[in-house]
Structure 1
Amino acid sequence: MTTTDQSFSAGKENGALIEESILPTLNGQRPIGWLGYAWIWVGIAVIIATYSLGASGIGGGVSLGTVIAVIALANLAIGLVMVLTADIGTEHGLSFAVYLRAPFGVYGTHIPAVSRGIVAAAWFGIQTYLGALALNGIGEYFLGFENWIVWYVVFGLLQIVNTAMGIKSVERLAALAAPAIIAISIWMYFTLEDLAATQGVNIWTYQATGEMSLMVLFIANMSFWSTMAVDIPNLTRFLKTPSGAKSFFSRNRNVFLAQLVALPVTQALIAGLGAVSFIATGNWNPVEVIQGEGQGLSLVLLLALVVLAQWSTNNSANLIPSALTFVNLAPRVINYRIAVMLAGVVGTLCFPWQILNNLFVFLGYYGAFLSALGGIMVADYYILRRRRLNVPALYDVAGQYRYVGGFNWAGLIAWVVAGAIAAWQSQYAFFIGFPLGLMLYFFLMKAVVLKNHPQAEIESGFSGAYLATSEGLSWTHTGQGRFERLTPEHAKAESLQREDL
């Protein structure tokens, strides 16, 4: 058995930080390959709000080809940020909220993590509402029954059950939904192009009179996925990862196709549909356009696209992140399945049908604070700790990540200040929040915090004893609050032994 000296016995309060769903995933507990993860991201990227991103560019005087290219490049840029933060999951098997105990403290983590959790829950509500409207249309066509509230409840429960069944169930849905979404989206494009042609409009040469800055369009599209850029470890902790892979590229090889191809290509194409819809009709939402003119099977197929798109996005991008932050908030009383249900309730109580009326204000402000959070994470994980983490201490209320009363004020101050300045200039949010959060956090940690709160992984000279996957080991909770690094074989045996107890 291979272990490190990084283990501890739980004190009286340590159980408050431990729950099975937020423990590090063992290397043998990661079932998703590169294709499954890519399908998940195709499903995530197809959401109704994406259509408006393309239409905003067209309305601002940018040509269709340029709009698609800028949006693809913006999502490639945010995809690169995701590749960086993904390593927290592939190396250590940690969820987003648990990792934030390092830069924010074992209690301070709740402030940014729950903020993200509530936003994710609100997005669940928005997506479920849009899906319910589509189901209402299908129900009216086949059953003559119309009541979107009933469909909201039914659709919400279906998603909650699917997500509660675990990551493998989420992957199966994505593998089913993604090809269907692509096929129906292609059909939508040709339908809209024909509609424009009947009006004598060439969608590829159309030029509006606006004067939108390409930089504004670029940054707005980066901010759109700033949520997933910070909490991507929630997904990557389930990706198949070669044990002992010291190379960053080898360790994260199952990340690249999704983040650098599936996301930018899908996002650009879906935004392009919104742009084409705007050119053809003046309405950015192609679903409304075709729904207004469609009938019979074509209408049902369109509405099925809406349902699949909302469902596949909600599982991975909203319910899982939200649930894990709620588990992290109170591990003693909230398990994963309860947390998924709680996310659904919170998302509904956010009154998502009202948020839709102010969607881009909502996107701009929370995107600003999440961009700052991304900068803090990169500064903490790569610059300060050089990918090393004292993982057992993340679950120890009296350990090194307690800082002052459980709060790391360097992280909180950097997040609030950088996020507020980015929100003040929200059209440039990501380019302000990310570097400012990074620099403020690094300066405050070096100048103040590290002098008074030494961090074992840094003091060790960045020893390999604070790595996991790249050392061929997994952080393993062996019971009674003790953690050890074990080989995959021993980790699996330990896990089976605990299940039998």
Structure 2
Amino acid sequence: MSTYLESHALEETEFNHTADLDESLKPKTKEDRTVGPISYIFMWIGDGVNLGNMTLGASLVVAGTATLNIIQTFAAAAIAIISMFFALNDRIGYRTGIPYVVQLRMSFGMKGSIISSLLRGIPAIIWYGFQSWIGGTALNEIVKIMTGGAFDNAIICFVAIQLVQIALSLYGFHAIKWVEILASIVIMLALVYVFGILLTSHSEVIAEKWVHAEGSWGLPFFAFIMMFLGNYAAIFLSAGDYSRELKSGISDAKRGLLYFSPILIAYGFVLTIGVMLATATGISNPVKAFAIVVDNPYITVGVSAFIVIGAIAVNMVANIIPPAYVITLLTKLKYKIAVIITGLLAFCSFPWVLVQDSSAKGLGMFILIYSAFLGPIVSILLVEYYILRKQKMNVADLYREDGPFAGYNPCALLAMLIGAGAAFIKVELAWIIGVVVAGIAYIILMKFAFKDSRFKKGTIFENES
């Protein structure tokens, strides 16, 4: 399965000459991979049961009534092709052990990958801040109850959550594994409890404003699918950052199930609770909606504690590692320093702007806008690896500063801009438009443009240059 991994020891000298390259950016060996399939599933369950996904469900509710009814919501969420994109784009990372920021060089070149890596890193930092803000507001609810209302300062709680996450992330992927296992079990139990309360105490209003709502099979329906896909667009891109930690010997089909199962269970359940909370309370912020639905200070403390754990869990998986790798690559700093910088940058994301009590439209629009760029990038990477290179890649070349991937690939940059430009024509459908247009544009440009480009070497168009 993995010729590169088997010969990795022989090729290690290929990377030793890059003295300023941090160890975290070098290919993972078989011995370095310690995450098993069960831990991997729990990791993605922990990522799925988060307040960002719940808020996405709440964004369906406008002025107290859902824009999609229950059938339309589940039909949109059933577009589970997200696991397919995971499985396709994680393959090069799994087989070779390289991180996403190095994978980008295959299509964009060493200099060109700077732009595309920032387009992944910046949204992750904003999500990092948003999840921390949700966790901070939940922590504030806990402290407020425990102090009898004497303390009420979400900003201080937000800062405290950030500092804890920075400390945890310094321990690397191994700390993430154990945090996710604990979080996924605890949070799912808490959400089952909340789901029961919503069914028993708020079923009538939920039925009226969501289940039996008129809804729409038009643009709102397809826009929600795009937000659904766009919500995972950033993780599609950096799938290799996670699969490179997974133990070797797992087939492509089995890895696909490792993504599909937890996403279907966790994401679908959390999305449902988000819609139910918003219809029952008219509030799009899940933390504040929880406080109303669970009208018991002790239970509110417990649920809020689960929310805090969930915010930390999703950040540990999705929003810390990718930007930290980007910072490490661009600044040549050590990984632990990059993790600290990532946490400090998240302070400046102003997450409270994305979600107001009355509406979560800001979060939805944020997802649609950045996915207009991330859709084209993932399309270009998949076209490159599967169509142009037929899954054959000399990994050592990606690390040679004077090698075939030096500089930038104009075809990839132009295809990305063409795809993003097309996506913005109809931002509600941004992700899928960007994926299709950028993929086609990249194939055409690689075949017909820039005849002397070094990036055609090793592709199906090599002999045409």
TM-score, normalised relative to structure 2: 0.88
Shift of 1:267: 1.1
Shift of 1:423: 2.4
Shift of 1:365: 0.6
CA contact (8 A) 2:8 2:29 kept: no
CA contact (8 A) 1:90 1:237 kept: yes
Shift of 1:27: 1.4
Shift of 1:449: 4.5
- The Cα offsets for residues 417-452 of structure 1, whole Å up to 9 and x where unpaired, read as 101211231111122111111111122122234643
What amino acid is aligned across from residue 213 of structure 2 in structure 1? A
Q: For 2:229, which of 222, 226, 244 is the aligned residue?
A: 222
Q: Which moved more, 1:60-69 or 1:420-429?
A: 60-69
Shift of 1:286: 4.4
Q: For 1:104, which of 108, 116, 120 is the aligned residue?
A: 108
CA contact (8 A) 1:390 1:457 kept: no
Partner of 1:499: none
What is the CA–CA distance in structure 2 between the aligned matches of 1:459 and 1:415, rounded to whole Å?
20
User: Structure 1 pair 109/215, CA: closer, same or farther in 2 (3 Å)?
Assistant: same
- The Cα offsets for residues 30-82 of structure 1, whole Å up to 9 and x where unpaired, read as 111111111111111123232343345564553324413431x22x2111111
- The Cα offsets for residues 341-379 of structure 1, whole Å up to 9 and x where unpaired, read as 111111112222234453222111101110111110101
What amino acid is aligned across from residue 380 of structure 1 in structure 2? E
What is the CA–CA distance in structure 2 between the aligned matches of 1:346 and 1:116, rounded to whole Å?
14
What is the CA–CA distance in structure 2 between the aligned matches of 1:212 and 1:10, rounded to whole Å?
53
What is the CA–CA distance in structure 2 between the aligned matches of 1:258 and 1:186, rounded to whole Å?
22
Establish whether residue 138 from structure 1 lines up as the match of residue 145 from structure 2. Answer: no
Aligned-residue CA RMSD (Å): 2.6
CA contact (8 A) 1:22 1:94 kept: yes
Q: How is 1:349-364 mapped onto 2 (pairs within 5 angstroms)?
A: 349-356=348-355, 358-364=362-368
Shift of 1:328: 1.3
User: Structure 1 pair 28/252, CA: closer, same or farther in 2 (3 Å)?
Assistant: farther
Establish whether residue 43 from structure 1 lines up as the match of residue 46 from structure 2. Answer: yes
Partner of 1:21: 24
Q: How is 1:190-209 mapped onto 2 (pairs within 5 angstroms)?
A: 190-197=196-203, 199=204, 202=207, 206-209=211-214
Partner of 2:335: 336
What amino acid is aligned across from residue 279 of structure 1 in structure 2? T
- The Cα offsets for residues 304-329 of structure 1, whole Å up to 9 and x where unpaired, read as 12101111100110001110111111
Matched residue of 2:316: which SS?
helix
What is the CA–CA distance in structure 2 between the aligned matches of 1:103 and 1:89, rounded to whole Å?
15
What is the CA–CA distance in structure 1 between the aligned matches of 2:160 and 2:411, rounded to whole Å?
44
Partner of 1:77: 81
What is the CA–CA distance in structure 2 between the aligned matches of 1:236 and 1:319, rounded to whole Å?
16
Partner of 2:347: 348
User: Structure 1 pair 157/399, CA: closer, same or farther in 2 (3 Å)?
Assistant: same
User: Structure 1 pair 31/119, CA: closer, same or farther in 2 (3 Å)?
Assistant: same
User: Structure 1 pair 97/209, CA: closer, same or farther in 2 (3 Å)?
Assistant: same
Matched residue of 1:400: which SS?
coil
Shift of 1:192: 1.3
Establish whether residue 258 from structure 1 lines up as the match of residue 242 from structure 2. Answer: no
Shift of 1:264: 2.2
Q: For 2:372, which of 353, 356, 368 is the aligned residue?
A: 368
Matched residue of 1:108: which SS?
helix
Q: How is 1:55-70 mapped onto 2 (pairs within 5 angstroms)?
A: 55-57=58-60, 59=65, 62-70=68-76
What is the CA–CA distance in structure 1 between the aligned matches of 2:121 and 2:210, rounded to whole Å?
42
Q: For 1:121, which of 100, 125, 130 is the aligned residue?
A: 125
CA contact (8 A) 1:33 1:254 kept: no
Q: How is 1:453-492 mapped onto 2 (pairs within 5 angstroms)?
A: 453=454, 457-458=458-459
Shift of 1:115: 2.2
User: Structure 1 pair 419/163, CA: closer, same or farther in 2 (3 Å)?
Assistant: same
User: Structure 1 pair 34/4, CA: closer, same or farther in 2 (3 Å)?
Assistant: closer
Q: For 1:158, which of 152, 164, 169 is the aligned residue?
A: 164
What is the CA–CA distance in structure 2 between the aligned matches of 1:120 and 1:194, rounded to whole Å?
37
Q: Which moved more, 1:279-288 or 1:107-116?
A: 279-288
Partner of 1:231: 238
Shift of 1:206: 3.0
What amino acid is aligned across from residue 219 of structure 1 in structure 2? M
What is the CA–CA distance in structure 2 between the aligned matches of 1:254 and 1:326, rounded to whole Å?
32
Q: For 2:383, which of 379, 384, 388 is the aligned residue?
A: 379
What is the CA–CA distance in structure 1 between the aligned matches of 2:210 and 2:453, rounded to whole Å?
62
Q: Which moved more, 1:146-155 or 1:223-232?
A: 146-155
The answer for unaligned runs of 5 or more in structure 2 is 1-5, 357-361
Partner of 2:190: 184
Partner of 1:274: 274
- The Cα offsets for residues 121-174 of structure 1, whole Å up to 9 and x where unpaired, read as 111111111111111121222245333232222211111121120111100000
- The Cα offsets for residues 365-398 of structure 1, whole Å up to 9 and x where unpaired, read as 1011101111101011111112222211211111
What is the CA–CA distance in structure 1 between the aligned matches of 2:56 and 2:354, rounded to whole Å?
17
Shift of 1:297: 1.9
Matched residue of 2:320: which SS?
helix
Shift of 1:7: 8.0
Partner of 1:32: 35
Identity of aligned residues (%): 25
TM-score, normalised relative to structure 1: 0.82
- The Cα offsets for residues 81-115 of structure 1, whole Å up to 9 and x where unpaired, read as 11100102111111111110111111111101012
CA contact (8 A) 2:57 2:274 kept: yes
CA contact (8 A) 2:67 2:215 kept: yes
Partner of 2:3: none
Shift of 1:11: 11
What amino acid is aligned across from residue 325 of structure 2 in structure 1? L
Partner of 2:428: 427
Matched residue of 1:107: which SS?
helix
What is the CA–CA distance in structure 2 between the aligned matches of 1:11 and 1:81, rounded to whole Å?
33
